[in-house]
Structure formats: C-alpha cells, structure tokens
Structure 1
Amino acid sequence: MLKKALDSIILAERPEKFGASYMTTILKMTGGAARAVPPFLKKTQFIGADGTPTILYSKFKTDGGRSQAAFDGLKNAFSELFRRNEYIHRADENSVKDTIVEITGLKKSDQIVRMMYGSFDAIRSFITADISKVSESTNDESIFESLPASEVTGRPGRDIGIGLSYQINIVLPETENIAVFNAIFKSLRDNLLR
C-alpha cells in the first residue's frame, strides 16, 4: 500500500493537507491499510504534523530530487537502522531484517518485522542514484529558489521565512504544594524563556 501511495504522490497534485479525503478522492486509496499511510509520511517528514506537505514532499515529486528525497525520508523514518549501519539502504533484505530484529527483539518471522521491512523497501525502491549522505536540509536553498514563494510559505506573494519551534514536555510531580510548581516555572522562565 505504501509503494502505491508513493507512486501516486508523484503523479497527483500537491494538496493543501494530506489526509483521508485526499487519499480517497485523489489517490483512490481506501481501507485499513490506507489509514497507515499519513502517519508513516509524517515519520518520513514528507508531511508535517498537521498534514501539510513539506519541502521534502515537493522534492520527492521531482525527477531530479526524488532519489535524494527518498533517502532523506528513509533516514528520518528509520534513523535507528542508519545509526547501526550508515549504508543500510544498500543492504540486502536479510541484513535489513536482521538489524530490525536486533533493534526490536522480535522474531525474524514476526509479521511486524515483515511490515517494517516492507515499508523500508517501499521507500528504498525510489533511491536510484548514488545519493549523498548529507541531510536534505543542506540542500534546502536550491529547493527554495526553485519553488514559488506560495509553496514555501503557504501564502502567495510572501517572502520566504524560516522559523524554528521546539516542543518541551514537562512532567510535573504530583503535589499539592504550590511552592514546588512556582519553583519549577520560575526556573523555566529564568533559564529557558529569555
């Protein structure tokens, strides 16, 4: 199903949001297996958390950028495999499955190992050239130059703006003592929010 979705993405128009209605109407994909596609595309960073296609998505749609985009997406989705073997994208099926088994602790015959390998191989099948090991972020400038401002910012006629955001999760202790919370938030304000 993932391979079919990736093949369809290349030919279909770029959506505002990649979601269930886009998959059903434009990509003609339905059923339970199709529901797994958007979360997986988020792991590859082809789409953002809100379903908006990213620069990597646009790069994947181009003939010249597809191989590098597939490599970058593969690294995003399977970062632990690449930590174990930086050339895992060139490894044979048995080696990739062995690495998955090593990481997960599952049996090689487990259906999850088969499904993980299937997803890995679906993206890997688009890597046709000798791609660089550099992350896609180092080549973003050339992508920004080739895209209209409306595709980069989502708003027509706006200049390109790059912003960073961080998400910090704080697990607060279970207490009724307000002084503990005041101390935590004072420390956050003094050390992080300046």
Structure 2
Amino acid sequence: MAKDGDSSNKIADADADTASANSEKTERREIKGGIPYTASPGVFKKALETIITAERPDKFNPNFMETILGIRGGAARAVPPLFKKMQFIGADGTPTPLYSKFKTEGGRSQAAFEALKSAFGELFKRNEYIYRADEGAVKDVLVEITGLKRNDPIIRQMQATFDSIRSFIDSEPSKVNDERHDENSTSLNQSAAEHAGAKLKLGLSYQINIVLPETENIAVFNAIFKSLRENLLR
C-alpha cells in the first residue's frame, strides 16, 4: 500500500511540474500590442472591489494585499503591474489621485473609464467607444491587435481583465478634458503658424539719390518731381 501511495505522489508531482512548465511557457510568449491581462481575473476583480472600502495605503505592496485585501498567492503578483498600467499606483507603489477617485461613489465610474483607457489604450485607438462594445466586438479587436486565435486562452484572459475594469463604468464618462486638450493643441498650432508666418514675411526697401541740376527754373524741378511721383512713388 505504501508503494501505491508513493506512486500516486510521484504522479501528482509530475503533473504539477508539467503544469508549472506549461505556465512558464505561456508567460514567456511574446504577445503583440502590449495588452495587459491576468490568468486570475477573479482575483483582480476582488482587488478592485476591496480597495473601495479599505483604507488607502502609503504603499500598495504584498503586505497590504495579503493583510488588508485578503489577496495572497501567485495570483496576487499580477495585481500591482495591472494597477500601474491603470495609473492607480506609481512606479514605487504609491497610490495616485486616480486610485483615490476610484474609492469615491461619485468619481468611481469616471476613474474606471480613465483607468481602462490607460491600460487598454490600443483598443481605444481602434474604437473610441470600445468601453460600450459587446464582448464579441472587444474580442475581435483583441484578435486584430495580438494576432492570436480567437479561441486562445490568453484572448479570454485579456477580455476578462478588460471586463473587470469596465464593470465599474455605470455612466457615460466625461470627455471634457480630452476636448480641452484638443482645443489647446489647435490654438497652439495656430499661434505657431502665425508666428512662423510673421517671421517669413519679406520686405524690400530702396534708396534713391537725386542730383538736382543747378537752375533757378521752377518748371525743371516740377517736371522732375512729377516724374518721380508718377513712375516711382505710386
């Protein structure tokens, strides 16, 4: 019986090693487009839900995730990189104003939209209303960007990650900031063009020296100045 138990353990260990190898192989795949995703979207969604009621930390680190958010294990390691992509935390793990905005009832929907746009910018380049698209349309864009097969597990994980953030958008987001940015850019471009045009304006000037004859006959002077007026000064 002991031999059977040892044999079962060896088989289990072999299966675990195989799964680990497959996981590492998946992680090493180079995916076009830089689309963020996690193999554990449920854990990621839980992180988003729990930071709403949890106290904002000085640093978003593993201790905070495990002790306060109740998120631990290998799946938790994917959360900080995703939060950085979303502009929720800085490079050093410090929560950003967008993180704080997401915690508020009034600002959560807008913060989720801005976070989604930061993390999935490639999708917004192809469709500015992608946050309102159905799952099939989102999947089509993901396939287009990455070049992966439609039924690839990574496509499903990308879509699940996208939907985890999108689920917090419950109202039409404001795009005032984008419009102001466009207006400012247009104004600056016009000013630059006008300034450049002013620099390129050319002007010609010339000087004429007239040697008048020695005469007391006024008619001669009148004839000279009349000719100048009619031929040069018009």
- Alpha-carbon shift at residue 134 of structure 1 (Å): 4.2
| Mapping 1:83-122, distance limit 5 Å | 83-122=125-164
| Mapping 1:125-136, distance limit 5 Å | 125-135=167-177
Alignment RMSD: 1.3
3-state SS of paired residue (1:36): helix
| Mapping 1:5-84, distance limit 5 Å | 5-84=47-126
Higher normalized helix content (fraction of residues) = 2
Larger radius of gyration: 2
Amino acid in the other structure paired with 2:135: E
- Alpha-carbon shift at residue 135 of structure 1 (Å): 4.9
Which structure 1 residue ranges, 4+ long, deviate > 2 Å from structure 2? 133-136
Task: Supply the distance in 2 between the matched residues of 1:135 and 1:78 (Cα, whole angstroms).
Answer: 18
Partner of 1:153: none
3-state SS of paired residue (1:14): coil
Q: What's the TM-score, normalizing by structure 1?
A: 0.69
Aligned CA distance change for structure 1 residues 52 and 63 (closer, same or farther; 3 Å): same
Number of aligned positions between the proteins: 137
Task: Supply the distance in 1 between the matched residues of 2:154 and 2:169 (Cα, whole angstroms).
Answer: 23
- Alpha-carbon shift at residue 31 of structure 1 (Å): 1.5
CA offsets 1:1-46 (integer angstroms, 9 cap, x no match): 1111000000100000001111001001011111100000000000
Between 126-135 and 8-17, report the one with greater CA deviation. Answer: 126-135
Stretches of structure 1 that go unaligned for 5 or more consecutive residues are 139-194
Task: Supply the distance in 1 between the matched residues of 2:123 and 2:74 (Cα, whole angstroms).
Answer: 27
3-state SS of paired residue (1:120): helix
- Alpha-carbon shift at residue 133 of structure 1 (Å): 2.6
Task: Supply the distance in 2 between the matched residues of 1:135 and 1:67 (Cα, whole angstroms).
Answer: 15
- Alpha-carbon shift at residue 130 of structure 1 (Å): 1.2
Q: Is the 8 A contact 1:18 1:51 kept in 2?
A: yes
Q: Is the 8 A contact 1:14 1:53 kept in 2?
A: yes
Partner of 2:29: none
Q: Percent identity?
A: 67
| Mapping 1:134-153, distance limit 5 Å | 134-135=176-177
